[in-house]
Structure 1
Amino acid sequence: VYFEIKPGDSLGTHTDSAEEIILVLEGKAEATVEHEKGEITKGEMALIPHMVPHNIRNIGSETLKVVGFFSSPNVVSTFVEPLMPINQSTVGTPPIESDSPMTWNEIFSRIMG
């Protein structure tokens, strides 16, 4: 999954059903994994175990660009707060069963315009 976060914003605390490795392509982030926090910058990675609450926040002055690699082709992500503007707390790839299933690509396309 690829995503961008504007300065001062965060992705939102969530869990993923599969282990994830995130790689920062541009910018500076604060990664929170359960109760631990650390900074990661361009070219650095973080490992996030499955089902552990985590968040990525942009602490730099430029747009944070991140790519995430999951250990499974099927991923369900559950957010503490619903994602806006789609107002969903659970998303997945492939789409999970719901009234309006969306993939990560559809979500980021809608958010980014």
Structure 2
Amino acid sequence: MAIARLSHARITPRKARIIANLIRGKQVARAIDDLRFLHKSGAKQFFKLLVSAVANAEDTGDVNVDNLVVTKVTVDQGPTLKRWRPRAMGRANRILKKTSHIHLEVAEVRS
């Protein structure tokens, strides 16, 4: 079992959970292929995180990479960046730029 974490990712948790649901429960090779060709903004971040988790699994012990499965993916909300946008007549609207904390876990499934 290996874990990889990404904190303060500049993607909203709602958009990140869509990608997380796509790769949860899949074999690592299949999940990497899906992320490589996915047209979503956070797919590149998830791809790098998944490759990092696989590298962590290889580093911790004798693990067969072909048997690794994405067992757990959680996306939590991180701190929100608050910005201002000028509007008409001297007013301003607040813009909330949300961030995410992503935790990805891979484990070897013996078949």
Higher-RCO chain (CA-CA 8 Å, sequence separation at least 6): 2
| Structure with a larger share of its residues in strand | 1
| Structure with a larger share of its residues in helix | 2
Computing the radius of gyration over CA atoms, which structure comes out larger, 1 or 2? 2
TM-score of the superposition, structure 1-length normalised?
Answer: 0.27
TM-score of the superposition, structure 2-length normalised?
Answer: 0.28
